[in-house]
Amino acid sequence: MTGPPSGVPEPAAAFAGPLLCLETSCDDTSAAVVRGREVLSSIVSSQNELHAQFGGVVPEVASRRHTELLNEVVAAAMAAAGVGWDDLAAVATTQGPGLIGALLVGLAAAKTIAYRRRLPLVPVNHIQGHIAANYALGVEAPFVCLVASGGHTLLAVVEKGVAYRVAARTMDDAAGEAFDKGARLLGLGYPGGRELDLLAAAGNARFVSFPRAVPRGRDFSFSGLKTALLYDLRGRDEAEVEAHRADIAASYQAAIVHQLVEKTVACTAGEGLRRVAIAGGVAANAGLRRALTERCEAEGLQLSLPPLSLCTDNAAMIGLAAGFLPALPWPTYLDLDAFASDSEARAARPARRRPRAARPAAPA
Ligand code: KG4
Ligand code: ZN
């Protein structure tokens, strides 16, 4: 299994000046200015409150909100970085995977800015962005990166820059989905992962013994855990759930974390590597960060733990990845499409060249 291809290896050498970066693949509207591995600014405008009333992200609502917020967010990122339009070397944006309508808002904005200023454009794969967040901390490839978000859970063997091979993936739900669905079953607010994490901090993780057996092979599986939580809750009366909500949350979280940690450490050993990194929204989970830190210390593995702001969706990670990727020269990117899924990402073609207008026949 291979991840999407990448190109030019060294970020600092790739661009002479800072990049303006956009990320609108889901429900966070984000812009950042990044120079090499240095994040000059990063602005994230969360749409959480907007979607909370629906209990989840409504794609069409997210797209519309991106269009309302993006200009302001870009202006804030430029101002916070103290960078002028003429200083920019390129524009980078998430091309996919993600919600197609949401992606198209960022892509259209990136094309417009880049075209208007005659700049190159760097389309970035969202997963490669998550992985690249670790470069802000000075990690060096090769390393194993646990990518765990709302839509993806995989172990990436990062060989160079953001070029990676998938060593394992989830057979069913993503880890973020397991957190979000668990949170819903526990009657917690939206977004669920963070709520469950906060509640679990006050709970006893040994209260319920959820299945700890790690599935055989390298791949992850979380759907059985979710079902185990459902049956556990069904077996208790309301007062009991009320009294032990934090304990049940802590036990459920511990079972997810156990699998993530065990698989990551086993994969790193199997690959003969000594460096581990984590990425994606679930990498913000306090229980995971604690358990992985302890386990890596015990195994003598070097661990890269990005700050929470670089774990959940943000445009700075898109800029960190862009330095490793080929830039499309002005104005070849105008026909570039966004893609919703990983498989489309792999099949993605570079921007099509516009057919030249038919030339008049040369005079005889
Ligand atoms: O990477 P991300 O921001 O967006 C996607 O690319 O999906 O990840 C969002 C996911 C959601 O499922 C969210 O509940 C989960 O990450 N998440 C967490 C925490 N913060 C965000 N899960 C567990 N603990 C957290 N602290
Ligand atoms: Zn993400």
pLDDT at 48: 87
What is the rounded (10 degree) CA torsion for 249, 254, 255, 259?
140
Which strand ranges, in their side-by-side order, compose the sheet holding 143-148? 163-169, 153-160, 143-148, 275-279, 302-304
Residue 2 domain-assigned (yes or no): no
Distance 18 CA to ligand 1 centre (A): 28
The closest residue, in CA terms, to atom 8 on ligand 1 is 281
What spacing in Å lies between the alpha carbon of 228 and ligand 2's midpoint?
27
C-alpha 349/C-alpha 136 separation (Å) is 29
In this predicted structure, what is the pLDDT of residue 52? 85
pLDDT the model gives residue 10: 45
Nearest protein Cα to ligand 1, atom 10: 150
Please indicate, yes or no, whether residues 150 and 284 belong to a single structural domain of this protein: yes
Domain that holds residue 66: 10-131+314-347
| 42 within ligand 1 shell (Cβ under 6 A) | no
Task: HSE, CB side, 13 Å, CA atoms: give it for residue 220.
Answer: 33
Nearest to 142 by CA among 307, 272, 289, 320: 272
CA distances from 101 to 66, 122, 288, 301, 314 (A): 10, 19, 32, 40, 18
Q: Are 364 and 120 in contact (CB under 8 A)?
A: no
The Å distance, Cα 148 to ligand 1 centre, comes to 8
Note whether 297 and 325 are same-domain residues: no
Tokens for 60?
Answer: 């069409």
Please indicate, yes or no, whether residues 219 and 111 belong to a single structural domain of this protein.
no
Q: Are residues 327 and 290 in the same domain?
A: no
CATH of the domain at 296: 3.30.420.40
280 lines ligand 1 (CB under 6 A): yes
Same domain, 97 and 198: no
pLDDT at 131: 98
Work out how many domains the chain is built from and give that number.
Answer: 2
Q: Read off the amino acid at residue 148.
A: A
Ligand 1 atom, smallest distance to 176 CA: 12
Q: In this structure, which ligand is nearest to the CA of 287? A: 1
Pick the ligand that lies closest to the CA of residue 281.
1
Neighbours of 213 (CB within 10 A): 9
Q: Is the CB of 191 under 6 A from ligand 1?
A: yes
Same domain, 150 and 292: yes
Q: Going by C-beta distance under 8 Å and a sequence separation of 6 or more, which residues neighbour residue 243?
A: none
Regarding the beta carbon of 96 and ligand 1, being less than 6 Å apart is answered no
Predicted local confidence at residue 47, as pLDDT: 87
- The verdict on 254 and 329 lying in the same domain is no
Task: Output the six-digit token pair for 4.
Answer: 């999407």
Residues 6+ apart with CB under 8 A from 195: 183, 188, 189
Residue 158 lies in a domain: yes
Same-domain pairing of 272 and 158: yes
Would you say 24 and 68 are in contact if contact means Cβ atoms under 8 Å apart?
no
> Is 30 in the same domain as 111?
yes
Asked, for residue 220, whether it belongs to a domain, the answer is yes
Q: How far apart are CA 46 and CA 177, in angstroms?
A: 19
pTM, 2 dp: 0.92
Q: Residue 164: helix, strand or coil by DSSP? A: strand
Whether 361 is in a domain gets the answer no
Closest atom of ligand 1 relative to the 28 alpha carbon: 3
Q: Are residue 50 and residue 94 in the same domain, yes or no?
A: yes
The verdict on residue 42 lying in a domain is: yes
- Out of 127, 222, 256, 282, mutate this one to test ligand 1's pocket (max ligand atoms within 8 Å of CB): namely 282
- The answer to whether residues 320 and 290 belong to one domain is no
Domain assignment present for 248: yes
Q: Is 273 helix (H, G, I), strand (E, B) or coil?
A: coil
Give the pLDDT confidence score for residue 49 in this predicted structure: 86
What CA–CA distances, in Å, run from 308 to 117, 268, 281? Answer: 33, 23, 8
List, run by run, the mean pLDDT of 10-residue segments along the chain (364 residues). Answer: 44 77 97 97 93 88 96 98 97 97 98 98 98 96 97 96 97 96 94 96 97 83 96 97 98 97 97 98 98 98 98 98 97 97 66 45 38
Assess whether 68 and 195 both reside in one domain: no
Per-residue model confidence (pLDDT) at position 343? 81
151 in contact with ligand 1, CB cutoff 6 A: yes
Inside any domain, residue 358: no
In a domain, 291, yes or no: yes
* Cis-peptide into 355, omega within 30 deg: no
